Amino acid sequence: MMSNREAYLCAVVEHKKPDFVPDYFQSAVFCGASGETFDNGPAGGGFDGFGVKWAATESAGGAGVPLANPIVLKDITAWEDVVRFPDIDRFDWKGLAEQQLYGVDRGEKVIEYHSLNAQFLRITHLMGFADGLCAFFEEPEACRALASAISDYKIRCIERAAEYFNPEIYVAYDDVASQQNPFLSPSLYRDIILPEHKRVNDAARAYGMYPVLHMCGHCESLVEYFIVQPVRNRAFAVHIPLGSDDVCKIIIAIRSSKNCGSATFFLFGIRFHKSSFLSFSQVIYSVLFSQYD
């Protein structure tokens, strides 16, 4: 019988059927994320390294959310003069790793490094959500340039994560979809965000990490672009937290894709009711494995 770690890696990384559906919380250690205070602000709220102010909200379970004021970037075309990236070399990476990996048995646990606020989210954090969305439509070239600079910054963070955490998995968070539809049209996602997602994923692979993209919301129309990201022998996964009834829509989109194949694996966190979010521990592996048989 496989261990939880072995079952998790078997399913998510090797794309094979495990002996059982692994419990995420028994299989993996969650690192990075809000611990990157330069990217998410300090615990309890405050300013991040970009100058965006965050607040801890009760509705988000205490997680930090960016506030609408102050606005850091009012004109996307002026981003090179306005946006200042955090000096990540001043951050205590060693201290964070020691704290988050304390007592962890790497023989029993998969180490995951979670990086929040990827390209789409960071642009909307800097500009405010409404103005950020308008910028993608009105100034796509400037958005493309800023997204590329954000990727450069994220890749530098990947280098530090590799050095101090040596994780097996890298999870990037970019919620490009809402509870109804993507925030961007498929063409805008393909032209502006997709190349940067792929570049960061390739950097993670280069440092020995398996890339996972976390995207909340109804992103059925973007599934085709998730699937075309991998190349031969370079697997990829997408984590999509949705209501249990909505998962079927994503499955239909996956099966309808002309590029559907074993290079991409989808993990679903299923919300059955308000008090129960089961995350990876109830991943519906069995539904999707038939495409790999």
**pLDDT tens-digit series, residues 144-160:** 999 999 999 999 999 99
Put simply, whether the predicted model's pTM sits higher than 0.75 gets the answer yes
Classify residue 52: in a domain, yes or no.
Answer: no
Residue type, 111: I
Domain span including residue 166: 4-37+64-292
**pLDDT tens-digit series, residues 2-42:** 888 998 888 777 777 888 877 777 889 999 999 999 999 99
**pLDDT tens-digit series, residues 98-147:** 999 999 999 899 999 999 999 999 999 999 999 999 999 999 999 999 99
Classify residue 30: in a domain, yes or no.
Answer: yes
Classify residue 43: in a domain, yes or no.
Answer: no
Classify residue 51: in a domain, yes or no.
Answer: no
- Strand pairing of 236-243 and 210-214? parallel
Classify residue 119: in a domain, yes or no.
Answer: yes
Q: Residue written as tokens 């059982």?
A: 20
Classify residue 281: in a domain, yes or no.
Answer: yes
Q: What is the CATH number of the domain that holds 256?
A: 3.20.20
Which pLDDT does position 292 carry in this prediction?
35
As for how many domains the chain has, the answer is 1
Asked whether the beta carbons of 227 and 255 are under 8 A apart, the reply is no
